[in-house]
A and B are shown apart, each in its own frame.
Chain A
């Protein structure tokens, strides 16, 4: 107990240093930094109320969490904190259509002893649709601040897990002392993925598709049975409690959509195939390969949140004596890169109103990716709509947020310069009417960032030489960690010529460094989670591959600067 308490206090001390910089608001703040007022007025700003609807030199007033006035000549309440909006652009807060923001990845379920692989317990099979994402949400999850500082105010957060992890919720990306206070609405989705159970049924897409049909059909029967019994139990066998089936009832009633994490085109078609057979409301989240799917998406009435993750732009070889074949291969690779980055504009032209999903992307890449998408044909207004109005419509919350109008939630972004200008910077983000302020960089050289970063991050930042041994042999390479505006980022490269991988979900706390990455193993994406402790220049960690129920040690030493 003592130990826990100690760690907790240290956490309190460290947290404001890590990523909560300049934040003047906290609701039950033991340091006494609660704001003096919850009334704000931003004056003389360019207000983009909704895509295409712009007011110059306007004022917006936010009172107790809501937008209470917006216009050129509005009364500023006497108790308002007035913020000068000169040179500032105000936008509705962005809405993330599908992410794990705020959720803490639980430990992978342990393989039970004497596992009967054809029929594993639901917890191991990953069939837990009765779970709610709030069980995983932690108020101090780094991702909340990371997404907020790039302009997101609402996230449709889905739980971690396998085939059917549970239902998602809409959360406000605000500071709070309890997860309940983040919730905008629960039961927003039943979340589904093509992730099999390691070495047990359903193990892959084959089993997942069949199991899904089986579960759905039995849920329909179970629902009929329960309703029959409820209407008059006499002479009817009593239905047994079945929370898995019950979780499907709102889906069957079309009160809850199924959000399918379908990143590639074949997965998207499989999800639409299930929708066609079973007739539920389908939302494709995280779609990364949609350029051939416009017709199917439209004819099936499927809703879409496009991924904000983009492939890296291919770099052609600079060698002079390239063979014609290499040139052709490079051209075709570029042709496909273009398909990835221009599909957003194409789907828009095809009449598909999509939102964005950040689930596979890093928060500090989102703006760059948006700009790339805009360079490749999506207009700024269309991009803004995808971030705000479209997403609000698709999630059914356009009556409370998505535009800047009186009466709506005080979710907004104040940016110095137009947001879609490369050089623009976010100065304030308001979530639920609370102000989060960010330091503007003054154009000074980037190296100064390092000085501003929390001291303890220094232990990680830099280049590391790693080594690990698997049955395939010993692998060596470099990991490079950077501080990008207060967020740890990392790239892992291998000496055997495998393409570099971005490290995800990097966290460093109390000398513990954890991160994960995915590698492509013969067409199957395999997630590897690395957890370990940094002691001076040594990193001693364990990597686990849940898909194969396999762990191996990994060591790294920090390179001399």
Chain B
């Protein structure tokens, strides 16, 4: 009886927690609906009830009290998902140790970071807030929904998303090792460290399993280690690994290590040479999250190609394009479009790189990544086709709640303001100013130039 009532209380608490985030109702009318999973539907409505997609169809009736959004001539697509981001975190690296599986980005989520709003203004609805790449086994990442405006980090959590963790290979962790005079100082050391740590985790699991199965009332617990607890969870498939990597040899190395330890869910981040081992990745079932056309910023990433995403896609590797940047995150749709120039991907393939595929890599594709009945109403509306260079995001919804509207785009989006900060005239580009490079030319107003008039 006691058990039942405490379960009931627990249930109430959990429901209360889930009820905290806002859920919206909206009918988006008469748009071109890019579903990703079910083609592109012209003149179609999307009805959102209580944060979920309720119906997709033509001429849907507007239920009582539900706001209508006219999307005539506009493009409605799933909210963009960035599988590699470092916005909205107050710390990124616990770089003092080469294995920090115990730390978690969920402890340092910063809901006040104005980059969140900028990402929303680029049609992004979810990010994978990642630990940095200073260590071989870095911290756990946190998948977020960009519910801008809350001051509570909990409100941004993608509730129910699987846990993920950051690994890193190559120059970054070995540089840290060398500068501190600790392991690993070479790529060989990285592999050894991975294997040693997994073997330690197996021993740790055995010790705790023996303790748990011991029926004695006078048993003594082994030492607890949050680090090893996480490593055990990785071995048991409860934590998905996202690994910073560049070179084909190290990518192949990690697949071998994971095969040896029976770990299946693996996404390579950056992976600039992944195209060289694309069939091997496909066979393993590993994913890749890459840049569209960025490399040569250090030696190990000297060699790459803008065809990377397309080659991986055509080889059957679940591939996404990420930003790793607070700036690039605002136009991931441009980044996806580059795969049409470099690799001739179809519209649907290109857009899947920033929607459904990152959702799969994060284990949230049952909830987001496409427009389907029953999925979360995380939606972006564009004025042109999102793969057009003229596309400008118009509105962004998370759980059916509108967090960005270009028609109501308040300039000062800061949530907390330091009263001791200095106020300076912001000098970026004034609507009334002509750009100096066009001075006296009087051809066209600079703003109008960008408005395509």
Residues of A participating in the B interface, judged by any CB pair closer than 8 Å: 114, 116-119, 197, 199-207, 209-211, 213-214, 217-218, 221, 224-225, 228, 232, 235-237, 265-266, 269-270, 273, 289, 292, 296, 311-314, 316-317, 323, 325-326, 328-330, 332-337, 340, 497, 499, 523
A217 CA to B224 CA, complexed, in Å: 7
Give Cα A254–Cα B108 distance, bound, in whole angstroms. Answer: 27
* In the bound complex, CA of A431 to CA of B422 (Å): 43
**Cβ 8 A contact of A209, one of B107, B411, B426:** B107
Q: What are 5 A-B contacts with C-beta separation under 8 Å?
A: A206-B94, A237-B220, A312-B419, A329-B412, A333-B417
B212 within 8 A of A: no
Report if B273 contacts A (CB, 8 A). no
Question: A204 to B91, Cβ gap below 8 A?
Answer: yes
Residue of B nearest to A213 (CB): B226
Give chain A nearest CB distance to B145 CB in angstroms: 18
Residue B439, interface by CB 8 Å: no
Q: Closest 9 CB pairs between A and B?
A: A118-B97, A337-B419, A206-B94, A210-B102, A206-B103, A311-B419, A209-B107, A336-B417, A203-B96
Known: A199-B96, A200-B96. A289 touches B416 (CB 8 A): yes
A210-B100 CB under 8 A given contacts A116-B182, A266-B110, A325-B425: yes
Once bound together, how far apart are the Cα atoms of A292 and B417, in whole Å? 14
> What's the tally of chain B residues with a CB closer than 8 Å to chain A?
48
- A314 and B419 in contact (CB under 8 A), knowing A214-B102, A218-B224? yes
Are A269's CB and B96's CB within 8 A? Answer: no
Name the residue of chain B whose CB is nearest to the CB of A520: B418
Does A117 lie within 8 Å of B100, measured CB to CB?
no
Tell me the complex Cα distance, A289–B418, Å. 11
Contacts of B62 in A (CB 8 A): none
The answer on a CB contact under 8 Å between B223 and A221 is: yes
B420 at the interface (CB under 8 A from A): yes
* A203:B421 contact, CB within 8 angstroms: no
Complexed CA–CA distance, A523 and B424 (Å): 19
> Whole-angstrom distance between the alpha carbons of A237 and B222 in the complex?
11
A273, B152: Cα distance in complex, Å: 11
B423 interfacial by beta-carbon distance below 8 Å: yes
Smallest CB-CB separation from B110: which chain A residue?
A266
Q: Knowing A117-B97, A117-B180, A203-B95 touch, does A270 contact B423 (C-beta < 8 A)? A: no
A311 with B107, Cβ < 8 A, contacts A202-B94, A221-B223 known:
no
**Chain A residues whose C-beta falls within 8 Å of the C-beta of B425 in the assembled complex:** 323, 325-326
Cβ of B325 within 8 Å of any chain A Cβ, yes or no, is no
Query: Chain B residues with Cβ under 8 A from A116's Cβ?
Result: 182
Q: In the complex the two chains form, is B418's CB within 8 Å of A209's CB?
A: no
Q: Which A residues touch B139, using CB under 8 A? A: 206
* Cβ contacts B59-95/A at 8 Å (1 or 0 each): 0000000000000000000000000000000110111
**CB neighbours of B420 from chain A (8 A):** 311-312, 314, 499
State whether the Cβ of B37 lies closer than 8 Å to any Cβ in chain A.
Answer: no
Q: Are B423 and A317 in contact (CB under 8 A)?
A: yes
Whether, in the assembled complex, B225 has its beta carbon less than 8 Å from a beta carbon of chain A, the answer is yes
Interface string of B204-226 (1 = CB under 8 A from A): 00000000000000101101111
Q: Which residues of B contact A340 (CB under 8 A)?
A: 419
Asked if B414 lies at the interface with its beta carbon under 8 angstroms from chain A, I say yes
Inter-chain CA distance A117–B182, complex, in Å, is 8
Contact surface of B with A, Cβ cutoff 8 Å: 90-91, 93-100, 102-105, 107-108, 110, 112, 131, 139, 151-153, 180-182, 218, 220-221, 223-227, 411-412, 414, 416-426
Chain B residues near A205 (CB-CB < 8 A): 90-91, 107-108
Judge whether A523 and B90 touch: CB under 8 Å: yes
**With A269-B152, A289-B416, A323-B425 known to touch, is A201 a contact of B220 (CB < 8 Å)?**
no
**Smallest CB separation, B228 vs chain A (Å):** 10
Could you say which residues of chain B place their CB within 8 Å of the CB of A292?
Answer: 151-152
Given known contacts A201-B94, A269-B153, A326 and B418 CB-to-CB distance under 8 angstroms: no
For residue B135, give the distance in angstroms from its CB to the closest CB of chain A.
Answer: 9
Contact status A325-B426, CB under 8 Å? yes
Indicate if the CB atoms of A265 and B151 lie closer than 8 Å. yes
B419 & A328 in contact (Cβ 8 Å cutoff): no
Interface centre among A266, A328, A335, A497 (most CB of B within 10 A): A266
How many pairs of residues, A versus B, come closer than 8 Å at their CB atoms?
140
Chain A residues contacting B221 (CB-CB under 8 Å) are 221, 224-225
* Partner of B107 from A114, A224, A273, A333 at Cβ < 8 Å: A273
Taking the closest CB of chain B, its distance from the CB of A150, in whole angstroms, is 23
The complex places the Cα of A499 from the Cα of B94 at a distance, in Å, of 30
B422 touches which one: A236, A265, A499 (CB < 8 A)?
A499
- What residues on A are CB-neighbors of B152 within 8 Å? 269, 292, 296
A424 nearest CB across to chain B (Å)? 28
The residue on A at minimum CB distance from B111 is: A266
Q: Which A residues touch B108, using CB under 8 A?
A: 205-206, 209
B423 touches which of A209, A225, A326 (Cβ 8 Å) = A326
Query: B412 touching A266 by the CB < 8 A rule?
Result: no
Least distance between B58 CB and chain A CB atoms (Å): 44
Whole-angstrom CA separation of A272 from B289 in the bound complex: 35
**A202 near B104 (CB under 8 angstroms)?**
no
Give min CB distance, B180 to chain A, whole Å: 5
User: Which residue of B has the minimal Cβ distance to A341?
Assistant: B419
Taken together as a complex, chains A and B put the C-alpha atoms of A114 and B180 apart, in Å, by 9
List, in ascending order, chain A residues with CB within 8 A of B95's CB. Answer: 203
14 further interface pairs, Cβ-Cβ under 8 Å (given A201-B94, A329-B412): A114-B181, A117-B96, A117-B97, A203-B94, A209-B103, A210-B103, A214-B102, A265-B416, A270-B107, A289-B416, A332-B414, A333-B419, A335-B417, A337-B419
Q: How far, in whole Å, are A211 and B418 apart by their CA atoms in the complex? A: 30
- Determine if B94 and A118 form an interchain contact, defined as CB atoms under 8 angstroms apart: no
A228: B residues at CB distance < 8 A? 218, 220
Q: Looking across the interface, which residue of chain B has its beta carbon closest to that of A120?
A: B96
Q: Give the docked Cα–Cα distance between A265 and B225 (Å).
A: 29
Chain A neighbourhood of B97, CB < 8 A? 117-119, 201, 207
Q: How far is the CA of A333 from the CA of B100 in the complex (A)?
A: 39
Closest residue of B by beta carbon distance from A234: B218
Given A118-B182, A210-B226, A218-B224, verify A328-B104 contact (CB < 8 Å): no
Closest to A337 in B: B419
The distance from the CB of B154 to the nearest CB of chain A, in whole angstroms, is 8
What residues of B have a CB within 8 angstroms of the CB of A202 in the complex? Answer: 94, 96
Separation of A326 and B102 alpha carbons in the complex (Å):
45
Known A-B contacts A118-B97, A221-B223; the reply to A311 vs B418 at CB < 8 A is yes
Partner of B104, one of A209, A217, A314: A209
Quote the shortest CB–CB distance from B159 to chain A (angstroms).
15
Q: Check A236–B182 contact: CB distance below 8 A.
A: no
Distance of A316 Cα from B419 Cα, bound (Å)? 11
Check B423–A206 contact: CB distance below 8 A.
no
Is there contact, CB below 8 Å, between B423 and A329?
A: yes
A273 to B154, CA, bound (A): 10
- CB-nearest residue of chain B relative to A197? B96
Q: For A199, list chain B residues within 8 Å (CB).
A: 96
**Once the chains are docked, how many angstroms separate the CA of A325 from the CA of B414?**
14
A545–B218 alpha-carbon span in the complex (Å):
50
Bound: A499/B422 CA distance, A: 8
What's the minimum C-beta distance from B365 to chain A, rounded to whole angstroms?
A: 28
Asked if B419 and A206 make an inter-chain contact with CB atoms under 8 angstroms apart, the answer reads no
In the bound assembly, the distance between CA atoms of A218 and B226 in angstroms comes to 10
A523 to B112, CA, bound (A): 12
Instruction: Decide: B412 and A118 in contact? CB cutoff 8 A.
Output: no
Given the complex of chains A and B, what is the CA–CA distance between A296 and B190 in angstroms?
Answer: 43
Residues B98 and A118 in contact, CB atoms below 8 Å apart: yes
Closest to B92 in A: A206
User: Closest residue of chain B to A216, judged by CB?
Assistant: B224
Given A236-B218, A236-B220, A325-B425, CB of A207 within 8 Å of CB of B418 = no
Determine the distance from Cα of A407 to Cα of B411 in the docked complex, in whole angstroms. 61
* Contact present for A207 and B423 (CB under 8 Å): no
Contact of A118 among B96, B112, B151, B153 (CB under 8 A): B96
B92 to chain A, nearest CB (A): 8
Cα–Cα, bound, A116→B104 (Å): 22
Closest Cβ of chain B to A465, distance in Å, is 23
Docked pose: A87 CA to B235 CA in angstroms: 76
